[in-house]
Amino acid sequence: MTPQLGEAWVYLAASPLLGLTMTLLAYQGATWLHRRSGGHPLANPVLLAVAVLVALLALTGTSYQTYFDGAQFVHFLLGPATVALAIPLYAQFDRLRRMALPLLGALLVGSLTAALSAVAIGGLLGASEATQLSLAPKSVTTPIAMGIAERIGGLPSLTAILVIATGILGAMGASFIYRALKIEDDAVRGFALGIASHGIGTARAFQESEQAGAFAALAMGLNGLMTALLLPVVMPWVTG
């Protein structure tokens, strides 16, 4: 490195500009690839962008903390984006109201399945208790999931990663499951994906249709609520 380039690096490494710009560039590249693949679910934009960023940070020896100092501005927008989900939800208000009982039934089944099957499979394959408890809220949107993990004795920061992985897996796999089960109603497709895969599933559902997105957003909110209420009661039973 020339001295000037070295100085530029010293400046960039300490400023939030680099982390923020890298995040946006990685996302642009990921969405470009996603579009080039014809919107294929396996070319998931979150997965692609994260893979590129982790590789870049490892190569340049940059710590996550330094990166996050810049990326936090993007992270912050999760709050207002969650509030904004009220708008597509309102657009589906009539259909939601007519389907209230079926939706609640599916929510109860989905919420319990998401938590209990994850803990059971993890336990059977020898995951430690802290890991099992961190797995339990994996289908819930990140901020609620971290709160639940803390309350039931899991590791909140591990839960955050498992939540994101669950979101990516659901967004990648849902269309194959729906094809096998012949699920064609956009409302059902969105709602089930929102229960299992929260915001990342919701992002995927919005790519299918506005209606699928709205039902996914509703499922994400309701499942957050349901899991926050159920797990602190149910988990002591499960782990003994």
Tell me which residue of 196, 224, 204, 219 sits closest to 139, measured CA to CA: 196
Taking CB under 8 A as the criterion, the residue among 8, 10, 42, 54 binding other proteins is 54
Q: What is the DSSP string of 64-106?
A: HHHHHHHHHHHHHTHHHHHHHTHHHHHHTHHHHHHTHHHHHHH
Q: Could you say which residues in the range 63-92 bind other proteins, by CB under 8 A?
A: 64, 67-68, 71-72, 74-75, 77-90
Q: What does the block give as tokens for 110?
A: 């989905």
Q: What does the block give as tokens for 231?
A: 């797990």
State the residue for tokens 């849902």: 174
Minimum distance of other proteins from residue 37's CB (angstroms): 14
Which of 8/17 has CB closer to other proteins?
Answer: 17
Minimum distance of other proteins from residue 5's CB (angstroms): 25
Q: Does 138 bind other proteins (CB under 8 A)?
A: yes
Taking CB under 8 A as the criterion, the residue among 24, 230, 234, 238 binding other proteins is 24
Q: Does 148 bind other proteins (CB under 8 A)?
A: yes
Coil, strand or helix: which one is 214? helix
Stretch that binds other proteins, among 1-9, 10-18, 35-43, 185-193 (CB under 8 A): 185-193
Q: What does the block give as tokens for 72?
A: 């936090």
Taking CB under 8 A as the criterion, the residue among 15, 37, 60, 113 binding other proteins is 113
